[in-house]
Amino acid sequence: MISLELKRYILFAIPFLLIPSAGFMFVSGSKWLGKEKGYLLGFLFYWTIWGLLIPLILLGTQNFPPLFVDGLGIRKSKQDTLPCWEHVDRLTTYGMRKKIEANLWKEKHCENL
């Protein structure tokens, strides 16, 4: 069992480790396997390590499985987090729209560079 102090250090370190490690996997995977397969490799790495392994380590084998059972996880009800997810969805959609617009502009105006 991991001590509470070590869990705090791990939780503090996660943002500093997650972004570079996931970014490395996406970029190197796309160079190694091509864009589509590299993206899938990065996606698999992200969810395997950051979505399953780290929560399993932090929560332990007793508290981890209930996260996947409706009504027994950390949330008391789906309505508790619904307003938050609406904002995340809006921000993600906005960001994707801006990315597409930037790519279209780049293709249209930067062909000769």
Cβ atoms of residues 64 and 56 within 8 Å: yes
pLDDT in tens, 16-40: 998 999 999 999 999 999 988 999 9
Regions in the chain scoring below 50 on pLDDT: 72-73, 77, 80-82
- pLDDT given for residue 81 in this prediction: 47
- pLDDT given for residue 61 in this prediction: 83
- pLDDT given for residue 102 in this prediction: 66
* Distance from C-alpha of 109 to C-alpha of 113, rounded to nearest angstrom: 9
The pTM (predicted TM-score) of the whole model is 0.54
**How many Cα neighbours within 13 Å face the side chain of 109?**
6
Q: Which residues contact 27 (CB under 8 A, 6 or more apart)?
A: 38
- pLDDT given for residue 88 in this prediction: 53
